[in-house]
Amino acid sequence: MSDRPAAATARAHSNIALIKYWGKRDAALNLPAVGSISIALDALYTDTRVTFVPAMTADKVEIGGRQVDGARFTRFLDLIRAQSGRRSYARVESWNNFPTGAGLASSASGFAALALAGTHAAGLDLSPRELSILARQGSGSAARSVFGGFAEMHRGEAADGTDAFAEPLLGADEWPLDVIVAVTDKASKSVNSTLGMSQLAERSDFYGAWVEHAEGDLADMRSAIAARDFGMLGALAEMSCLKMHGLMLSTRPGLLYWNAATVASMHAVRTLRSNGVEVYFTIDAGPQVKAICQPADSERVAATLAQVPGVLETRRSGLGPAAYRVD
Ligand code: PMV
């Protein structure tokens, strides 16, 4: 057993995928069927404190001060216990500075923060890649939240998932972009991503085409990022979002994450664009719309989205840093 302290706190930022991940090649190890490329969001983050307490008889997990069902977290903490040799149960206290489970990628920032805080509390000092592999087993998108700026998640080929990790592509300050989040519903979504993705190959006729074209989309996005070509990045991001939602809609039973304000916000983004403002939308497994633009345009984009009927609030974010310890 290590002599490190048994408690640690970490902050990880949420991220949104520009090229989307949807579908698993191995559900038990949480291996993605496709790679993905994302940007970290400075304004949305999770702080998590993990304390291993020898006297406890079960893990205890609180999000925002409310105790939650610990099963998914215990499975994740078991991975840390297996790697570290630490046997005690843990108290996990987590705070999101945004609504949980509503399509704002709380599982991405949550499991990245838990991976970093949990491993340090257990006396482990993992490399960013090892941390990304661990975080992936909590939530696929969490593998990307280990890194800041632009990150790419590799689907990998290995059966054991050792090559399914994220890597940084570009730092947050190397190409400043803004994201305006239009919140259209603060409730938790009814079909979470794990459920929505389960047995997708049998449940959607579009799945084969989705997987087949993923590598090409990733290569195009890598080129757009390398060239700092914002028009290309935005067009690809909007395309990947709509393609993923097409796949979701084609799943039996159809997954429809949008509400009226989601669709109105998408139209508002396209109207802005036809009026000369370079802005593109993306949407995850929820009703919130994220509009991606260059910093000079973000005030106008935020003001426009705030006027859309059904938009409850807007949040403006630049690109965020990698996960880090705060204790
Ligand atoms: O990481 P998960 O299991 O919450 O899945 C994330 C799926 C999407 O947010 C819809 C897309 C993505 O790549 O983040």
Burial of residue 191 (number of CB atoms within 10 Å: 0-12, 13-18, 19+):
middle
- pLDDT higher at 43 or 5: 43
pLDDT at 2 exceeding the cut of 50 = no
Whose tokens are 């028009």? That residue is 231
Calculate how far, in angstroms, residue 299's C-alpha sits from the geometric centre of ligand 1: 27
Region 6-325: CATH code: 3.30.230.10
pLDDT at 1: 47
User: Of 135-144, 155-164, 179-188, 199-208, which range is least confident?
Assistant: 179-188
Helices (H) and strands (E) in the chain, counts: 10, 14
Other C-beta atoms lying within 10 Å of the C-beta of residue 105: 32
Over residues 30-55, mean pLDDT? 97
The continuous run of DSSP H or E covering 41 comes out as: strand 36-53
Token code pair at residue 213 = 């074209």
Domain boundaries, the chain: 6-325
pLDDT at 139 exceeding the cut of 70 = yes
- Report which ligand 1 atom has the smallest distance to the Cα of 20: 13
Q: Which amino acid is at 273?
A: R
Token code pair at residue 239 = 């395309």
With a CB cutoff of 8 Å and minimum separation 6, the contacts of 118 are: 8, 50, 76, 77, 80, 90, 92
Calculate how far, in angstroms, residue 226's C-alpha sits from the geometric centre of ligand 1: 24
Whose tokens are 């925002």? That residue is 64
Over residues 78-107, mean pLDDT? 87
Residue 143 — pLDDT band, cuts 50, 70, 90?
very high
| DSSP calls for 158-185 | -TTSTT--EEEEE-GGGS--EEEEEE--
CA-to-CA distance for 223 and 234, rounded, in angstroms? 13
CA-to-CA distance for 10 and 126, rounded, in angstroms? 14
Calculate how far, in angstroms, residue 103's C-alpha sits from the geometric centre of ligand 1: 9
pLDDT at 178: 98
The continuous run of DSSP H or E covering 266 comes out as: helix 260-274
- Report which ligand 1 atom has the smallest distance to the Cα of 107: 4
Q: Is 150 in contact with 225 (CB distance < 8 Å)?
A: yes
Residue 101 — pLDDT band, cuts 50, 70, 90?
low
The continuous run of DSSP H or E covering 77 comes out as: helix 71-84
Q: Is 213 in contact with 22 (CB distance < 8 Å)?
A: no
CA angle, 251 as apex, 287 and 38 as ends, to 5°?
50
Q: Is 94 in contact with 61 (CB distance < 8 Å)?
A: yes
The whole-model pTM stands at 0.96
pLDDT at 4 exceeding the cut of 60 = no
**Chain-centroid distance, C-alpha 99:** 14
Query: What residue ranges line ligand 1, CB within 6 angstroms?
Result: 17, 20-22, 36, 107-108, 139-141, 193-194, 284-285
Calculate how far, in angstroms, residue 303's C-alpha sits from the geometric centre of ligand 1: 28
- Report which ligand 1 atom has the smallest distance to the Cα of 153: 13
DSSP letter at 4? S
- Give me the residues paired with residue 19 across strands: 37
Over residues 108-136, mean pLDDT? 97
Preceding amide of 253 cis, omega within 30:
yes
**Chain-centroid distance, C-alpha 178:** 17
Over residues 189-196, mean pLDDT? 86
| DSSP calls for 102-127 | SSS-HHHHHHHHHHHHHHHHTT----
